[in-house]
Amino acid sequence: MSEKRSENLADWDFRDKTGSACNNKKSGGMDFTDFRTGLPDPHAYTALGTCNKMTDVDYTYGGDWNNKADHVSV
């Protein structure tokens, strides 16, 4: 993804399969969203020039972000 865009990970058969993320863009961050029913949708961010193991990113409702991302915006 070179230009700013947004993708539903299910369209790529990658919903709930994200274990890590690297943001090597020249500007901007990455925003991961977990779609929830009846609750606010939590977000996880990967800053410019960083990589995250999703097991190291705290999840809003407990645990971590491993295999929870449904959508990404870059």
The 10s digit of each residue's pLDDT in 4-40 is 689 999 999 999 999 999 999 888 889 999 999 999 9
Residue 51 Cα distances to 36, 39, 48, 69, angstroms = 25, 28, 9, 15
Q: What are phi and psi of 55, to 5 degrees?
A: -70, -15
Q: Map tokens 């994200």 to a residue.
A: 18
Q: Give the per-residue pLDDT at 5.
A: 86
| 17 CB-near residues (< 8 Å, 6+ apart) | 9, 67
The 10s digit of each residue's pLDDT in 48-61 is 999 999 999 999 99
pTM for this structure?
0.86
Mean pLDDT of 35-47: 94
